[in-house]
Amino acid sequence: MAVDERSRLAKLTEPSTPRLPRSRLPRVFALTVGMLGGLVVVCGLAAGIGAYHIDLTDILASVANRLGLGGAALDTVSESVLWDIRFPRIALAILVGASLGCAGAIMQGVFGNPLAEPGVIGISSGAAVGAVAAISLGLTFLGTWTVTVFAFITGLITVFVVYILSRSRGRTEVITLILTGVALNAFAGALIGLFIFVADNAQLSTITFWQMGSMAQATWWKVLAVAPCAIAGLLIAPLYARRLDLLSLGERPARHLGVDVERLRVILIIVVALLTAAAVAVSGVIGFIGLVVPHLLRMAAGPGHRFLIPASALGGALVLTAGDLVARTVAAPAELPLGVLTALIGSPFFFWLLRKTRRKQGGWA
């Protein structure tokens, strides 16, 4: 390795190296504050807007009352709508959106490609197989948790199968991992089609609704179900931001700088599996959050993962919460499936991104 290249790479590991270039700090600060403020505003709107309107002052009074800060309790109907329907839905949208956004940022870092997202290695389709199987076979031995548990378990199993099949001589090549994921996605699609074939009309309706993704069935129990995996993944992922930055230089330079690339990939794929499988299990298949959000933030503030990973989680929470608000109000009293809405918006963006990436010959935007 040339001397000048060694010195350039060595500087990346110096403790005194600034986490972000000074020129980007104002932009990063503005983006973070803007997304936090936007999330607060959207949560307030989502809590108040709907078939049963609740004023913002009443919402704040009810929250203050529950926290013991002296606020007045609302009437029984308003309290029930707020605490049993809307707040669980908002909390679930935040957790699912944050999980999908963070998982997307990790996947794009691991694969070194802005077109990567959690579905690439079959997590979403694997979880869908478990959910569809539980519905079409009429399994209820875990009560209302049956579909969620099956989806989570099969999502994790799919990831480990993909990883095992893509290993060769103790290493995992990115292209092999992607191709294995494509094959598993196709196989999962065939299984889903088979289960749909044997399902009755009532089960077909449930399967269709689940596959399109929705927050309509949100409860505090579902929030508690997804929270441990989501929180664990969101706390672990930023710890590997530095190593992802080094991996973006290429596998060989990253190894020269002390990064165990294989171990890094295994850990981060497990984190992605936890985040995505838990999210899909409680909300159904919701696409493009993990693709669009990290890429937009990368375009706005650069590719540094110290900012990109937590910002993608925050951006995912904001986008999905806002999307859920639109999905349940734009066609009221009917509710538009959330997965359909994100696909309608995300698909054109994906085509634009693909065209832009091809122009740059696969480089980062």
pLDDT, tens digit, 9 for 90 and up, residues 72-85: 777 888 889 999 99
Query: Which stretches within the chain are classed as H helix?
Result: 3-12, 25-48, 56-66, 76-80, 87-111, 123-136, 146-166, 174-198, 201-212, 220-236, 241-247, 251-256, 261-283, 289-301, 305-329, 338-359
**Does residue 329 lie within any of the structural domains?**
yes
- Containing H/E element for 171? strand 171-172
Please indicate whether residue 94 or residue 257 has the higher confidence score (pLDDT): 94
Domain span at 114: 31-36+83-356
**Does residue 58 lie within any of the structural domains?**
no
**Does residue 45 lie within any of the structural domains?**
no
**Does residue 2 lie within any of the structural domains?**
no
Nearest to 43 by CA among 51, 31, 54: 54
Please determine, for residue 105, whether its predicted confidence score (pLDDT) is greater than 60.
Answer: yes
Query: What's the rounded Cα separation, in Å, for the pair 290 and 231?
Result: 17
List of residues 6+ apart from 132 with CB closer than 8 A: 191, 192, 195, 196, 207, 210, 211
What are residue 170's phi and psi, to 5 degrees? 80, 5
Q: What is the pTM of this model?
A: 0.85
User: What share of the chain in percent tops pLDDT 90?
Assistant: 28
Please determine, for residue 362, whether its predicted confidence score (pLDDT) is greater than 50.
Answer: no
In the chain, the number of structural domains is 1
Please determine, for residue 16, whether its predicted confidence score (pLDDT) is greater than 50.
Answer: no
- How does pLDDT run across 42-82, given as a tens digit for each residue? 999 999 998 889 999 989 988 888 887 776 777 888 889 99
- How does pLDDT run across 149-201, given as a tens digit for each residue? 888 888 888 888 887 887 776 666 667 777 888 888 899 889 999 999 988 88
**Does residue 51 lie within any of the structural domains?**
no
- For residue 306, the domain's CATH number is 1.10.3470.10
pLDDT interval class at 17 (50, 70, 90)? very low
**Does residue 323 lie within any of the structural domains?**
yes
- How does pLDDT run across 200-256, given as a tens digit for each residue? 888 888 888 888 888 988 999 889 888 988 999 999 999 999 999 998 888 888 888
**Does residue 89 lie within any of the structural domains?**
yes
